Amino acid sequence: MLTIAYVGNGKSTNRYHLPFSTKLKDKINIKTIYSPSGKQEWEVLEGVQYTVDINDIYNDPEIQLVVLSTPGKTHFNLAKEALEHGKNVLVEKPFTETSEEARTLFALAKEKGLVVQCYQNRRYDSDFLTTQKVIESGVLGDLLEVEMHYDYYRPEVPENVNFSKERSYLYGHGCHTLDQVISYFGEPDNVHYDVRQLLGEGRMNDYFDLDLYYGKLKVSVKSSYFRLKERPSFVVYGKKGVFVKHTKDRQEEHLKVFYMPDHEDFGIDLPEHYGVLTYMDDKGQYHEEKVISEVGDYSQVYEDIYEVIVNGKEKVIKDSETILQIEMLETGVQNLK
């Protein structure tokens, strides 16, 4: 068993972590949850110690992994502190505010023989996994362009937030989609950044459009808070066809209404959510068909880190990938004021 503790007891811990770590009952034991306020607004887990003293985690030799589910600006100091107390650490997104901080944490973990890793659960989104399946089928031919969109219509968010790096849209949501691109396509040859403050200088970054180039292939990562009608989650163009996946992974949709992973149909796409694949085959015949979605599962991140810590396997989420992503986030917001 891997014995873990959480630092933070808010929405992130209770909505995006506990439903997936508790799913792995044969591998993971949740022992302690720390929150400085001691407020309990979520369901109490039976058998778990809730504490307002973080030393209850640091001084417990049974706890092997500390999961940080706290605001981004706290990640570096808390992760460093946990590592210095001999704990492995899993850190929510974005991993750190700077690439220098990321390198420092990875170096410290290596020095102490520990593991520190980012919680990149979006690698296990249904729409992303389905898009990979289509690409790897080969029916699209040589890839020409990939568009990835993560849109909202939430004008009240940027209208009520002034600029800061940790509250920028690029840091808050680019950390999802950029990791997907890096994990699948690797390091790009070059990147074009279009990161804006649509409400003006001094206001929250509320729009970004990054183009990552891989030879002739362009992968675009685009997001906006002002899209009344969302753009498709994925559009993939090849020389022989196109795949369009309009809807996002449904795990978050279900979690928001407290429909949890213990339901067999949790996060599962219905036929109306399936993407559409259109292509010309080798005989010049036209095809248009729905593609049954792959099943997303955020608990896979916990499966992965269990294998790393308990069985010594290599990390799925590589240090170099996390550093590259933070470098891109830094670059994207460097000229904003």
> What pLDDT score was predicted for residue 162?
86
Q: What is the CATH number of the domain that holds 273?
A: 3.30.360.10
Same domain, 139 and 272: yes
Name the residue range of residue 263's domain.
126-298
Written in H, E and C, the secondary structure of the chain is CEEEEEECCCHHHHHHHHHHHCCCCCCEEEEEEECCCCCCCCCCCCCCEEECCCHHHHCCCCCCEEEECCCHHHHHHHHHHHHHCCCEEEECCCCCCCHHHHHHHHHHHHHHCCCEEECCHHHHCHHHHHHHHHHHHCCCCCEEEEEEECCCECCHHHHCCECCHHHCHHHHHHHHHHHHHHHHHCCCCEEEEEEECCCCCCECCCEEEEEEEECCEEEEEEEECECCCCCCCEEEEECCEEEEECCCCCHHHHHHCCCCCCCCCCCCCCHHHCEEEEEECCCCCEEEEEECCCCCCCHHHHHHHHHHHHHCCCCCCCHHHHHHHHHHHHHHHCCCC
Same domain, 196 and 172: yes
Residue 69, in any domain of the structure: yes
Residue 335, in any domain of the structure: no
Cis amide linkage into residue 232, ω under 30° from 0: no
Domains: count for the chain: 2
Mean per-residue pLDDT for 226-241?
97
Task: With beta carbons less than 8 A apart as the criterion, state whether 36 and 52 touch.
Answer: yes
Q: Per-residue confidence at 8, pLDDT binned at 50, 70, 90? A: very high
Same domain, 158 and 41: no
Q: What is the CATH number of the domain that holds 107?
A: 3.40.50.720
Q: Per-residue confidence at 39, pLDDT binned at 50, 70, 90? A: confident
Mean per-residue pLDDT for 127-147?
98
Reading the block at residue 281, the tokens are 């085959």
> What pLDDT score was predicted for residue 38?
82
Mean of pLDDT over the chain: 96
What are 156-201's pLDDT values in tens digits?
A: 999 998 888 777 999 999 999 999 999 999 999 999 999 999 999 8
> What pLDDT score was predicted for residue 192?
98
**Taking phi first (over 0 means left), then psi (-120 to 50 degrees means alpha), and beta for anything else, what does residue 286 get?**
beta
Same domain, 230 and 167: yes
What are 139-150's pLDDT values in tens digits?
A: 999 999 999 999
> What pLDDT score was predicted for residue 326?
96
Angle at which helix 75-84 crosses helix 99-112, to 10 degrees, equals 10
Residue 169, in any domain of the structure: yes
What is the end-to-end Cα distance of the chain in Å, rounded?
47
Q: Per-residue confidence at 252, pLDDT binned at 50, 70, 90? A: very high
Residue 336, in any domain of the structure: no
Residue 334, in any domain of the structure: no
Residue 240, in any domain of the structure: yes
What are 306-322's pLDDT values in tens digits?
A: 999 999 999 999 999 99
Same domain, 131 and 258: yes
Same domain, 155 and 260: yes
> What pLDDT score was predicted for residue 323?
98
Same domain, 241 and 261: yes
pLDDT beyond 80 at 230: yes
Mean per-residue pLDDT for 76-102?
97
pLDDT beyond 90 at 256: yes
**pTM reported for the whole predicted model:** 0.95
HSE, CB side, 13 Å, CA atoms: give it for residue 9. Answer: 23
> What pLDDT score was predicted for residue 277?
98
Same domain, 103 and 136: no
Same domain, 13 and 69: yes
Same domain, 135 and 60: no
> What pLDDT score was predicted for residue 337?
83
> What pLDDT score was predicted for residue 37?
87
Torsion of CA 95, 99, 100, 106, to 10 degrees: 50
Same domain, 238 and 161: yes
Same domain, 155 and 292: yes
Residues in Cβ contact with 141 at an 8 Å cutoff, skipping those fewer than 6 apart: 238, 239, 240, 241, 279
Mean per-residue pLDDT for 318-333?
97
Residue 186, in any domain of the structure: yes
- Residues pairing with 190 in the sheet: 213
Residue 333, in any domain of the structure: no
What are 286-309's pLDDT values in tens digits?
A: 999 999 999 999 999 999 999 999
